[in-house]
C-alpha cells in the first residue's frame, strides 16, 4: 500500500492503528471519498501477515 493520491502513507496508517486510532468499533462505520479514479490497494493492518488485503476500483 503506497497511499499515493490519498495524501496518506502506510506508515501513517500503521501509526494510527498502533495508537488505537484505526479501529472501528462494532456498529460504527467509516466513509472515505476517493478523489482519483483507479485502483487503490489496501491491507487490514492487524491481519496483513495472513494476506488480508484487497483492491478498490474507483471508476
Domain definitions of the chain by residue range: 10-58
Can you give the pLDDT at residue 42?
A: 85
Is the model's pTM score more than 0.85?
A: no
Burial label, 10 (beta-carbon count in 10 A; 0-12, 13-18, 19+): middle
Can you give the pLDDT at residue 32?
A: 80
Summarize pLDDT for 1-48 with one digit per residue, the tens: 344 444 455 666 666 666 656 667 788 887 888 889 999 888 887 888
Burial label, 13 (beta-carbon count in 10 A; 0-12, 13-18, 19+): middle
Can you give the pLDDT at residue 3?
A: 42
Neighbour-count burial for 19-57, b at 16+ CB within 10 Å, e otherwise: eeebeeeeeeeeeeeeeeeeebebbebeeeeeeeeeeee
Amino acid at each position: 500500500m503506497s497511499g499515493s493520491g490519498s495524501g496518506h502513507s502506510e506508515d501513517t496508517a500503521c501509526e494510527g492503528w498502533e495508537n488505537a486510532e484505526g479501529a472501528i468499533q462494532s456498529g460504527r462505520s467509516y466513509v472515505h471519498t476517493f478523489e482519483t479514479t483507479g485502483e487503490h490497494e489496501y491491507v487490514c493492518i492487524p491481519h496483513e501477515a495472513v494476506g488480508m488485503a484487497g483492491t478498490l476500483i474507483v471508476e
